[in-house]
Amino acid sequence: MTSYFHHIAPIRYEGPDSQSELAFKHYDKDRIVLGRRMEDHLRFAVCYWHNFVWTGLDPFGGATFERPWFQGGTPMELARAKADAAFEFFAKLGAPYYCFHDRDVAPEGATPRESQDNFKRIVELLAEKQQATGVKLLWGTANLFSHRRFMSGAASNPDPELFKMAALQVRDALDATLALGGENYVLWGGREGYETLLNTRLGQELDQLGRFLSMVVDYKHKIGFKGAILIEPKPREPSKHQYDFDVATVYGFLVRYGLEKEVKVNIEANHATLSGHSFEHEIAMAGALGILGSLDMNRGDPQLGWDTDQFPNNVPETALALYHVIQAGGLGSGGLNFDAKVRRQSLDAADLFHGHIGGMDVCAQGLLAAEKMIEDGRLKAAVDARYAGWETPAGQDILQGRHTLGQLADQVLERNADVAPVSGRQEVLENLVNRFCG
């Protein structure tokens, strides 16, 4: 087929004054930020599913996109055509990484063996594409939610035979991720939840999930995969309630099954807001718990209550998210994957570039604002000052368990004086952040 993106030149950095719609205004990959190249901080990835699998359909209307790899050949021929287009896009955009589900890149077969064979053949093609372009795999995963067999969950399914089907897909996807040099592996439990408790053994399903994840970790070590295993929290949709509700819930689950040292989280902005949190809250929570792994960059619509997966466009929110990433020591093997899609009326090939260019520029602006906050130091100093009492010997004695509840109570009575509260100065700090994001 004719190249789908033949009319678009590779995207370059042209600076804030550029008038081109197909150029970066802020993402200068080689710019040094806090001692590292911007590209190495952000580690951008393009997702396969929204860009090369989604047809534009929604619950009220059919496909709107007429991509050449959607029709006109056998499933495997179309999978190869899709890979051609995907890697042309990755290379022209200049994204260093990509991400995929197994069923994004290779079609489901009539039998498990046929599905496995299809996948292995396409993985060989992906390896060739990576070698030719230099694009790397940030993470792989298995689609355990689209097929009707998983309508009642995968690892949490009431039928152990379907649990086994999920195990086959994850084993093969982990093998593929290792073979392709993937740096992480993600598990998203879109169907790992329930629609009603009338037909659900909630405790048993949690135990099944714990056993499944333990087997995934064991297999990771068996094959020598050095990347991180990541869980992606989301509170609902498609299930009414999902067991990986938010970062704190995932951490409690990991502790219960002894996996808190083995598994981290891949946090998505839109999932964070669906759970009633902000993106920065979920990042800060993961950093505090020591399980921050990777990020899915997108946004939701505040007027809609579902996962709209739009490209990020809010610089202050992105700046605070990246500020907390840096404060937590960075993402390690993780990165920033755009789990975002163009709108279903954005029909042109160029629209895929516009969405990613805008998202990458917003993240670059956010990173530069975070750099200013860190170098300025006033935000951190204000927080340090607020908690300074806990750094004193008296505060450390409390944290180290050197006093009982009764002893602390007696100290208050002995002192016999009220303690005046101190202003949190929230408005001052909000104004300070806005000065760096202007």
- Residue 427 is labelled as binding a ligand: no
- Angle at the Cα of 166 (from 87 to 56), degrees rounded to 5? 45
* Helix residue spans in 290-344 (DSSP H): 315-327
Was 102 annotated as part of a binding site? no
Distance of CA 335 to the CA centre of its chain: 8
Residue 282 labeled ligand binder:
no
Specify burial of residue 76 (Cβ count, 10 A radius: 0-12, 13-18, 19+): middle
- Is 296 flagged in the annotation as binding? yes
* DSSP classification of residue 133: H
Indicate the burial class of 430 (C-beta count within 10 angstroms; 0-12, 13-18, 19 or more). Answer: exposed
In angstroms, the Cα distances linking 399 to 78, 128, 393 are 61, 55, 10
Q: Please, which contacts does 380-385 make with residues 24 or more away whose CB atoms are closer than 8 Å? A: 380/327, 382/425, 382/428, 382/429
Q: Which of 28, 104, 246, 361 is catalytic?
A: 104
DSSP 8-state assignment for residue 390? G
* CB-based burial, 40-74: b 16+ in 10 Å, e otherwise: ebbbbbbbbbbbbbbebeeeeeeeebebbbeeeee
Active site residue 104: yes
Task: Find out whether 221 is annotated in a ligand binding site.
Answer: no
Half-sphere exposure of 65 (CA within 13 A, CB side): 25
Identify the CA nearest to 245 among candidates 305, 197, 187, 189: 189
DSSP lists the bridge partners of residue 100 as: 140
- CA-based torsion, 86, 219, 295, 339: positive or negative: positive
Annotated binding residue 307: yes
Q: Would you list the DSSP string of 147-186?
A: SGGGTT-STT-S-HHHHHHHHHHHHHHHHHHHHTT-SEEE
Tell me if 339 is assigned to a ligand binding site.
yes
Are the CB atoms for 135 and 96 separated by under 8 Å? yes
Residue 101 appears among annotated catalytic residues: yes
Which of these is catalytic: 41, 101, 277, 356? 101
* Alpha-helix runs per DSSP H in 134-274: 160-179, 202-223, 247-256, 269-274
Inter-axis angle of helices 349-376 and 426-437, to 10 degrees? 130
193-194 and 241-242 strand pairing? antiparallel
Greatest extent of the chain over all pairs of C-alpha atoms, in Å: 85
| Residue positions forming the annotated binding site | 232, 268, 271, 296, 307, 309, 339
Which positions are annotated as active-site residues? 101, 104
| Residue positions forming the annotated binding site for Mg(2+) | 232, 268, 271, 296, 307, 309, 339
